[in-house]
Structure 1
Amino acid sequence: MISRRTLLRGAGVGALVVAVPIPALAASDELVPNVFVRLDDSGRITATVPRPDTGQGVRTVVALMVAEELAVGVRDVALEQAAGDTERYGSQAVTNSTSVRQLATPIRTAAATARCLLVTAAAQRWGVPVAECTARDGAVRHPRRGRLAYRALVPAAAALDPATVPVELTPPEKWRLLGKTRDGRVDARDIVTGRTRYGIDSRPAGSLVAVVARPPWIGATPQSVDDTAARGLPGVVDVLTLTTPADGQGGVAVIARSTHQALRGRDALKITWGGGTPAADSRTWLADLRSALPAQSPVTGFERVYEMPLLAHAPMEPMNATAHVRPDGVTIWAPTQDPGGLRTQLARQLGLPATAVRVETTTSGGAFGRRIETDPVLEAVACSRRVGAPVQVLWTRADDMRHDSYRPMSVHRLSAEIGAGGVPVRRAHEVATWGLTVLPFFSNPALIKASGDHFPYGVPGDVTVTVRPAPLRTGFWRAVYAGQFVYAEENFLSEIGTRSGLDQVALRRSLLPADSRLHRLLDTAAERARWTRPPARGTHRGVACLEEYGSAIAVIAVADPSARRVLRVHAAVDVGVALHPSGVRAQVEGCVVDALSTVLGAQITVRDGHVAQSSFGDYAWARIGQTPEIDVTIVQSNAPLGGLGELAYPPAAAAIAAALAGEEPVTGMPFGTDVG
């Protein structure tokens, strides 16, 4: 049984639910027992989705949870995306794979509260005990009294005080949908038919469009701007020099009546640039990181060095935001990862009360950590404030690729003392990397270590981190530092196993506690991959594991090293209870494709002060024909609900690299190419 106090306390999900109020009783034609669920007297059920959907499928899981607890079909639940409002919804940030695990208790409790109010109202009308009534298919039923549709009970249920009605969640053994449905996303049809509205589709009436002339090399700023020709072009409304950091990344914005006109205006600008680092080169940065490693490892024996390149986020929807600054406030339309945090930031920066700032959260065409940042929004605000009209700032693909907040470079030196039987008995992992410029306190070596190091095996040793100042913008990239640490650690273990002639699965099993989640997952993945059979001629297999975000996963990749082709990837994943199994598989598959892409060669390089890559032609993300068969096995457990969005990337990258390397050492990432 769940009381109101338990709901407000949050059952371990922290500030998200602590901030969720139970509003005053609703009007008699609506049942609004909490901020997440609303029923009207027509029987319509509306669920509010407090966090953005950036591709992780949170809207689908919310619909499933509400439908489960209200005993209706998924299609009976209408979804409404919440605007930014941390006071009403708590944290709305999509970070650290927390969305579903932090929403599960409050959303399920919200819907269960509505169900229990409806059942109580029906029991009172019939004069029977509540325990004799059940909810099913949009109605309350009684063995002798018959049925009452929800719509007929809304006025009576709305008159009840939610705090006085005991609430019980539907136990897992009675679930009809959660953990069982094979259906895909509730919005899949809208996505594939073009009905879904993304940030890039958001142009309120009277909107203008702005594009920005951005620095031609890292850190450059405009010294002089001749905008005469640009202002003379049809449709160009204004030209504005943006400052940094108040107006985003800086540059010169051309505001026009259409995208084409804005782009033509940008091409017509004559700008003199200065400052910055016009000779910057990522090969020099890599050499600097190499030199930052201690002169000698504390452990002698087998040693390897792994080098990791810069990576761009490259979401399919480039950066964009629309702002309308008015005398009485501002409205934002943006595919942000944190609408509540954005609202708070803008209110503080503009000197407005939070009530004067509205952030409309749009669906996002990918994010991977990039959309937690606010630079496109700040650009749109500056442009709108200048012209007094709504302005949409659009980034081109080249803008997006060359002015990202990149995953930092890093160099990893691992050494191990090898004991009897070729098994490591002591280890050291020394890392040289950069912090995250978008969050300066993330330059703390201890924080970087905590983010990246998840070595699960019983080999004593330590990890030391040396942090150099980042020479360009760096930010959160899927799995943050874990993607690099796990890649190095798992490939190092694989190389030890190969050198010692050990079975890779058996090696890991011997170094894991027998009762660990990873032990069980390794067994499952090995069974799916038919590990006990010799690999087909010309193929090689790689293995990697990770336990993080409250979840665990084991990955086995099968590749043909001579053809540089990955054939199959087997993943066994434990997220506690998989509320939406097809969503779990989709998340793992997405991580595998990201891993494949980075291992096969996608990387960002800097030459002559600027990013060399400009699109998917030279930032080579995996194509459909390169995608392997991906087999995902969900292993249910009694563990608390875990996160998933970033989980599979690190071990998938490590397993794929090991499989592609065959008997050769893994020197870095991307596989087989120079880093930097």
Structure 2
Amino acid sequence: MITRRAFLGTAGVLVVSVSVPGTSGATSAAGALAPTVFVRVDRRGRVVATVPKPDAGQGVRTMAAVLVAEELAVEVADVALEQAPGDTATYGSQAVANSSSSRQLAEPLRTAAATARCLLVAAAAARWGVPPEECVARAGRVEHPRRKALPYRVLVSEAAALDPATVPVTLTPPERWRLIGRTRAGRADARDIVTGRARYGIDAPPSGSLVAVVARPPWLGALVSSAADAAALAVPGVVAVVRLDPPAAGQGGVAVIASSTAAALRGRDALRVGWTGGTPAADSREWLAGLESALPAAPAADVRRVYRLPLLAHAPMEPMNATAHVTATGAEVWAPTQDPGRVRTQVARQLGLPESAVRVTATLAGGAFGRRIETDPVLEAVACARAAGRPVTVRWTRDDDTRHDSYRPMSVHRLSATLDADGLPVGRSHQVATWPLTVNPAFDNPAIVRLSGNHFPYAVPGDVSVTLRPAPLRTGFWRAVYAGQFGYAEECFLGEVARRGGHDQVDVRRRLLPEDSRLRRVLDVAAERAGRAGSSSRGVACHLDYGSAIAVIADADPGTRRVVRVHAAVDVGVAVHPSGVVAQVEGGVLDALSTVLGAQITVRDGAVVQSSFRDYPWARIGDCPDIDVRLVPSTAPIGGLGELAYPPAAAAIASALAEGGDPVTGMPYGAPVG
């Protein structure tokens, strides 16, 4: 049988003096030039960038290649990429979270590559007996107007012998950038992805690995009370049945370990598991009503609206999985994780080993959106591998992934506004009732939730209050976290206020934003790109977060209620890899479209109703609008991006649908919540 995979086969010239992880001199054991752990030039002159953060589709590897290629005067394709193992002591934070990868890595990567370049130039200048200022690095070699050019490979040993502290290091100034913000190169690993050579977590198991699937609780919070495994062990290929007790071994259940996925699934079907505890009568409609009743008394206002937002699952294209091999002296893990350093720490704690005895390989991840910051699949794999004495891959089915996620919390938002004689808001109140994130105790605090969600950018005084109720199920980080909920309600409400007063959606926002603000600039660019609405229904929304600014304008056909086009203008400061910026915004728009058009998680009789894309519908090709993304030039520092587009895109899309129909009362648009 031929598988699908087999078929697919700080800007400016300045002297740098910074402290970055892994700085330990200019040499390595292999004799390469390695100013820090992030960059090395080997004896063949090959440039290698070590990427400390995993790539879950956000393109961090490509960003690293662009930054290193720029500072070492080579092409992006000339930079070999290596993924760092989990090791925060060496690499610093390795978490892919809070849209932070570019902001955290740009300076260390540029500095490391610039240091290598300056050392190579110094080595060439010393060989020629000329001042380094007369030399230039270009196309993988050092040149001098009166000397022959020397390729990097012949200079590596001499450069590695120099003391980096004695060589001034300058970053390439923006006016000389060839690649940063300018390259049209695609993803550095695009060819491997489309030809099937790229290795995701599900591809990582070493030869001879066993496969495990887990019988998971049939209702929320249930624990195993008994497990009759004789029938499962009788299934050909099944080698072991292991009880997994939370939290040390993930969310809990009974694992069936077998020689193949099919055998493991058949074994799981043959299990007879008894369950106890939990909430077998839970109903998400009651949860929603409870949140609404928890809102404080509404203030006096001229206009008021309540928005109800549902549970959402992450639904990455690659379901949860992890592989582990445990021996008497150590462990090795292969996982599509958002934080390999955290995985290493937790596995060491689980096994009672020093972290030095645990190796974590972060594979490519087929989507994450916050779900893979958690380690429960890894803990399951480690428990299974320890019991089996062989490498074991734990594979979640799509149904497992949908019904046992850590969901975006439900929330209810009451927004109120007082208006002036022109119908413009002059006072506001935003009252929120929601749940904390159970995967992170810090969020059991209304102030932290408000800090995460409240990014209201307009000149309208008012207050935001947050009421927290205990979460009745597992909740976690979901793309944009609480900002996706707060921003959606705020922008939909502002759109309704504008419509009531007969005001243009763009004009209202322009009047409420400072004239010289980044949001005002991106809004003007988006409006210019969108032109007149004509016969379309139009929605507009803005968002300022992660050091970046974005405005989104969506147009819908009022006859078919279909979103036909979306215009986005974005200011991310220095856009290191422009096509990557466009791709991230497009992805945020499609997530927004999916959740506005119908995706939600509901609970009946204690269990999640939805099980797959058949009943948790994500946007299909036929649903997709034309998406136009415009990058707005900026002198701001590098900003975050991965979570930026979702909140305003969702609000703009819902508002566009509402302009030609019923007002927005929540999400999904026009459907009951809960």
TM-score in same-fold range (> 0.5): yes
Contact preservation (8 Å) 1:591, 1:649: yes
Question: 2:231 — aligned with what?
Answer: 229
Which range is displaced more, 509-518 or 394-403? 509-518
CA–CA distance in 2 between the matches of 1:356 and 1:2? 41
Paired residue secondary structure (2:212): strand
Question: 2:668 — aligned with what?
Answer: 670
How far the C-alpha of 1:560 sits from its partner, in A, is 1.4
- Please tell me whether residue 216 in structure 1 is matched to residue 218 in structure 2: yes
CA–CA distance in 1 between the matches of 2:517 and 2:468? 33
Question: 1:202 — aligned with what?
Answer: 204
How far the C-alpha of 1:202 sits from its partner, in A, is 1.0
- Please tell me whether residue 138 in structure 1 is matched to residue 135 in structure 2: no
Question: For 1:637, which of 634, 639, 649 is the aligned residue?
Answer: 634
How far the C-alpha of 1:350 sits from its partner, in A, is 2.3
Change in CA separation of 1:27 and 1:351 when aligned onto 2, cut-off 3 Å? closer
Contact preservation (8 Å) 2:26, 2:164: no
CA–CA distance in 2 between the matches of 1:502 and 1:320? 50
How far the C-alpha of 1:608 sits from its partner, in A, is 1.0
Contact preservation (8 Å) 2:62, 2:189: yes
- Please tell me whether residue 157 in structure 1 is matched to residue 154 in structure 2: no
What amino acid is the match of 1:156? E
CA–CA distance in 1 between the matches of 2:349 and 2:538? 53
What amino acid is the match of 1:153? L
Paired residue secondary structure (1:563): coil
- Please tell me whether residue 437 in structure 1 is matched to residue 448 in structure 2: no
Contact preservation (8 Å) 1:21, 1:88: no
How far the C-alpha of 1:31 sits from its partner, in A, is 1.2
Which range is displaced more, 339-348 or 636-645? 339-348
Question: 1:585 — aligned with what?
Answer: 582
CA–CA distance in 2 between the matches of 1:39 and 1:502? 59
Question: 1:624 — aligned with what?
Answer: 621
CA–CA distance in 2 between the matches of 1:137 and 1:24? 22
Q: How does 1:81-120 map onto structure 2 within 5 Å? A: 81-120=83-122
Question: For 2:283, which of 277, 281, 299 is the aligned residue?
Answer: 281
Which range is displaced more, 186-195 or 402-411? 186-195
Which range is displaced more, 559-568 or 138-147? 559-568
Contact preservation (8 Å) 1:561, 1:661: no
CA–CA distance in 2 between the matches of 1:93 and 1:556? 32
Contact preservation (8 Å) 2:332, 2:358: yes
Q: How does 1:307-322 map onto structure 2 within 5 Å? A: 307-322=308-323
Question: 1:13 — aligned with what?
Answer: none
Question: Could you report, residue by residue, the CA deviation over 1:84-122 in whole angstroms, capped at 9, with x for unpaired residues?
Answer: 011110000000000011100000111111101100000
Paired residue secondary structure (2:322): strand
Contact preservation (8 Å) 1:329, 1:356: yes
CA–CA distance in 1 between the matches of 2:26 and 2:109? 19
Question: 2:267 — aligned with what?
Answer: 265
Contact preservation (8 Å) 1:52, 1:336: yes
Which range is displaced more, 517-526 or 29-38? 29-38
Question: Could you report, residue by residue, the CA deviation over 1:401-427 in whole angstroms, capped at 9, with x for unpaired residues?
Answer: 000000000000001111110001111
CA–CA distance in 2 between the matches of 1:326 and 1:597? 44
CA–CA distance in 1 between the matches of 2:539 and 2:218? 41
Paired residue secondary structure (1:122): helix
Question: For 2:59, which of 46, 52, 57 is the aligned residue?
Answer: 57
Question: 2:647 — aligned with what?
Answer: 650
CA–CA distance in 2 between the matches of 1:483 and 1:185? 27
CA–CA distance in 2 between the matches of 1:335 and 1:667? 37
Question: 1:12 — aligned with what?
Answer: none
- Please tell me whether residue 323 in structure 1 is matched to residue 324 in structure 2: yes
What amino acid is the match of 1:442? F
CA–CA distance in 2 between the matches of 1:605 and 1:162? 59
How far the C-alpha of 1:182 sits from its partner, in A, is 1.2
Question: Could you report, residue by residue, the CA deviation over 1:484-503 in whole angstroms, capped at 9, with x for unpaired residues?
Answer: 00000001010000011011
How far the C-alpha of 1:341 sits from its partner, in A, is 1.5
What amino acid is the match of 1:297? A
Question: 1:7 — aligned with what?
Answer: 18
CA–CA distance in 2 between the matches of 1:315 and 1:429? 31
Question: 1:348 — aligned with what?
Answer: 349
CA–CA distance in 2 between the matches of 1:71 and 1:163? 22
Contact preservation (8 Å) 1:28, 1:159: no
Change in CA separation of 1:495 and 1:297 when aligned onto 2, cut-off 3 Å? same
How far the C-alpha of 1:50 sits from its partner, in A, is 0.7
CA–CA distance in 1 between the matches of 2:104 and 2:30? 31
Question: 2:514 — aligned with what?
Answer: 513
Paired residue secondary structure (1:383): helix
Question: 2:534 — aligned with what?
Answer: 536
What amino acid is the match of 1:638? T
CA–CA distance in 2 between the matches of 1:398 and 1:561? 35
CA–CA distance in 2 between the matches of 1:410 and 1:453? 14
Question: Could you report, residue by residue, the CA deviation over 1:471-514 in whole angstroms, capped at 9, with x for unpaired residues?
Answer: 00000000000000000000101000001101111111111111
How far the C-alpha of 1:271 sits from its partner, in A, is 1.1
Question: For 2:597, which of 600, 609, 620 is the aligned residue?
Answer: 600
How far the C-alpha of 1:24 sits from its partner, in A, is 6.5
Report the TM-score, using the length of structure 1 for normalisation.
0.96
Contact preservation (8 Å) 2:237, 2:263: yes
What amino acid is the match of 2:478? W
How far the C-alpha of 1:243 sits from its partner, in A, is 0.2
CA–CA distance in 1 between the matches of 2:299 and 2:186? 51
Question: Mind listing any 5+ residue stretches in structure 2 that lack a counterpart?
Answer: 1-12
Change in CA separation of 1:92 and 1:28 when aligned onto 2, cut-off 3 Å? closer
CA–CA distance in 1 between the matches of 2:648 and 2:497? 17
Contact preservation (8 Å) 1:23, 1:35: no
Contact preservation (8 Å) 1:379, 1:393: yes
Change in CA separation of 1:515 and 1:299 when aligned onto 2, cut-off 3 Å? farther
Paired residue secondary structure (2:415): strand
CA–CA distance in 1 between the matches of 2:134 and 2:568? 45
Paired residue secondary structure (1:454): coil
Which range is displaced more, 650-659 or 506-515? 506-515
Identity %: 71
CA–CA distance in 1 between the matches of 2:594 and 2:374? 24
What amino acid is the match of 2:70? E
Contact preservation (8 Å) 1:524, 1:572: yes
Paired residue secondary structure (2:269): helix
Contact preservation (8 Å) 1:225, 1:271: yes
How far the C-alpha of 1:345 sits from its partner, in A, is 2.1
Question: Could you report, residue by residue, the CA deviation over 1:139-180 in whole angstroms, capped at 9, with x for unpaired residues?
Answer: 000001120000010111111112221110111110111111
Change in CA separation of 1:3 and 1:35 when aligned onto 2, cut-off 3 Å? farther
Paired residue secondary structure (2:35): coil
Contact preservation (8 Å) 1:113, 1:167: yes
How far the C-alpha of 1:300 sits from its partner, in A, is 2.0
CA–CA distance in 2 between the matches of 1:268 and 1:66? 54
Question: 1:491 — aligned with what?
Answer: 492
Question: For 1:563, which of 560, 566, 570 is the aligned residue?
Answer: 560
CA–CA distance in 1 between the matches of 2:522 and 2:224? 55
Question: Mind listing any 5+ residue stretches in structure 1 that lack a counterpart?
Answer: 9-16
Contact preservation (8 Å) 2:541, 2:552: yes
How far the C-alpha of 1:351 sits from its partner, in A, is 2.1
Question: 2:253 — aligned with what?
Answer: 251
CA–CA distance in 2 between the matches of 1:139 and 1:36? 20
CA–CA distance in 1 between the matches of 2:584 and 2:196? 22
Contact preservation (8 Å) 2:25, 2:163: no
CA–CA distance in 2 between the matches of 1:71 and 1:327? 47
Paired residue secondary structure (2:422): helix
Question: Could you report, residue by residue, the CA deviation over 1:381-435 in whole angstroms, capped at 9, with x for unpaired residues?
Answer: 1001111111100000000000000000000000111111000111100000000
Change in CA separation of 1:484 and 1:123 when aligned onto 2, cut-off 3 Å? same
